[in-house]
Amino acid sequence: MARITVEDCIDKFESRFELVLVAANRARKIHSGEAPTVEKDNDKNTVIALREIADETIPVDNLKEKLVEEYQAESMQSEEEFSLEYSNDEEINVEDEIIDENIIQEINDSENLFQKENNSSLTEDVNIVENNNDNQVDNLSQNTQEETN
């Protein structure tokens, strides 16, 4: 196949968004070491993934299932422990709340790491400026001493 485009693969999915998610996931898998099911032909992983989808060397349903499984959170607790019963016989699923809490925690951790990195970078910048200022003051005082001599 000379060149592959999204148009060659879109008929296998309900939306472009779904195609992009599946193709990106497959490209990451190829990058991490999974063997491609088509010839590489010096193509990048994204092109290889699109060629696999277009040629249907891997069933599209399998690609979708792998993507969903990868993003699902698995828990050691049973579903019964996740549901709460109310007097009006409605049940709510606590699993979504636990996943949301985990996502919020990951976001907070990422923000804290980002702030630490930025603070250390800012501190380094301030130290560089202070050192430059000290060097300039030293040079000025040396020049002034030389002129007075």
9-26 per-position pLDDT tens digit: 889 998 999 999 999 999
Same domain, 10 and 56: yes
pLDDT tens column, 121-149: 666 766 777 777 777 777 777 777 777 76
Same domain, 58 and 10: yes
Residue at 13 is within a domain: yes
pLDDT at 57: 94
Same domain, 11 and 64: yes
Residue at 17 is within a domain: yes
The answer to whether residues 5 and 51 touch, using CB atoms and an 8 Å cutoff, is: no
Q: What is the mean pLDDT of residues 80-109?
A: 60
**Domains identified in the chain, total number:** 2
Residue at 131 is within a domain: yes
Residue at 119 is within a domain: yes
pLDDT at 1: 47
Same domain, 15 and 65: yes
Domain range for 53: 6-72
Cα distances (Å, whole numbers) of residue 133 to 25, 98, 138, 139 = 51, 52, 9, 10
pLDDT at 21: 92
pLDDT level of residue 83 (50, 70, 90 thresholds): low
Same domain, 68 and 117: no
